[in-house]
Amino acid sequence: MTVTVRFAPSPTGNIHIGNARTALFNWLFAEKHRGRFVLRFDDTDAARSRQEFADQIVYDLHWLGIFPDMVEYQSKRVAAYEDAVARLKQAGLLYPCYETPEELDLKRKIRLSRKLPPIYGRDGLAHTDEERAALEADGRRAHWRFLLPNYKRDPFETVRTDIAWNDIVRGEETVDLGSLSDPVLIREDGSYLYTLPSVVDDIDFRISHVIRGDDHVTNTGVQIALFRALGSNEPEFGHHNLLTTASGEALSKRTGALSIKSLREDGIEPMAIASMAVLTGTSENVTPENSLSALAQKFDPAATSRSAAKFEPGDLVNLNRALLQAMPFEAARDRLLAYGIFGEKAETFWLAVRGNLDRLPEAERWWRIITVKPEPGAGIIDEDRDFLRTAFDLLPEEPWDAGTFKAWVAKVREETGRKGKALFMPIRLALTGLDSGPELADLLPLLGREGTMARRP
């Protein structure tokens, strides 16, 4: 069977780096096995799902280097779900229940007071046709539950029923269906909860591996039972640890925190995000990889820890800086055009400044400093002005190269007696207007003698 995985976001907001972790785990797994990647939008919540969010998710995935082989929407597959519902009802595995949320909460509290597990007692299953008709005549609307196979003969006498699988991330896993309530598959308004459409889609799209967050481990036991009830073999499962902030704070699409869109707008490189998302919480060091192909070589689902994958958002900037420091001009050239950086000096400029950038758009500032004027407010003190005039008078004639700066400051040191910070800082302030930045030896040839003399105090 061809390895086929899926990423199944709900289009109710912008995906964040934690969602990207799941998408990348699936994409890299498919890449390593020459498989297929399905993007499936879980958009059955019509009130909150938006096409603009779906479009943004596609754009974000493309930006990260993920290109789905197939894109599907659950809202367009209702007929498939209705067919599955009919089959489950015919088999007696889907039954109507009429309790309100308040009544269910009371029943849970009563069971807890009797030291019983707070699971649903299958009261709906016990209703006669006449009782159901009376409830509906009274205005009650049914929600429908899936009858779990956790009993021998009498469904009101549940027994321990282990569902086991070899998780490709966590190893051997077991869920006891006897400790769970029959899950609601259909709400009172007729809309579907996550479980049924997800299983039907996985069957129809021939999903071979379901890789998702470890908050779904218990769901997996229920879903395996549902796969079997629908006459299908279940896929293999893998549950990775969830990405959280260093303080343990969960990420949320609703708040927009660390969304891929906001990180992109902040100038973070896609491979900084991908490297952080994939390698955090694994046995690998979190280092910036320059391509998804390179990241795939380090990716191993089984190397993922069971504990939460905590990360410090500020570390994304460190990864970003490292990527830019190693980025060749060929990779940056087209992007630099957007900031007006081009021409015969562009490559030399990039190689000179890339080591001082946290984000690529910051190159525009340095291009302006080199080609137009220093930053304002250099803060040159009066006692340094005479020194700088002397220094600029000692500038050598062109042509200039990488060794020009060293030769120049040697003359200035000999003439003025200054050294160290007292020598270099006034020159840096005069040339750039800033007290830190790229090596002056690299900047001086870019300025040229005319450009340098224009900065003489």
Give the number of other CB atoms < 10 A from CB of residue 202: 24
User: What's the distance, CA 393 to chain centroid?
Assistant: 55
Question: What are the DSSP calls for 77-111, one per residue?
Answer: -HHHHHHHHHHHHHTT-EEEE---HHHHHHHHHHH
Binding residues for ATP: 253
- Judged by phi (left if over 0) then psi (alpha if -120 to 50, else beta), residue 49 lies in beta
Do 245 and 312 contact (CB within 8 A), yes or no? yes
SS3 for 2? coil
User: Between 421-432 and 440-453, two packed helices, what is the crossing angle to 10 degrees?
Assistant: 60
**Measured distance CA(146)–CA(225) in Å, rounded:** 10
Cis check: omega of the bond before 399, within 30 degrees of 0: yes
Q: What size, in residues, is the chain? A: 457
Nearest Cα to Cα of residue 436 among 383, 362, 382 = 362
Secondary structure in 3-state letters for 165-220: EEECCCEEEEEEHHHCCCCEEECCCCCECCHHHHHHHHHHCCCCEEEEEHHHHHHH
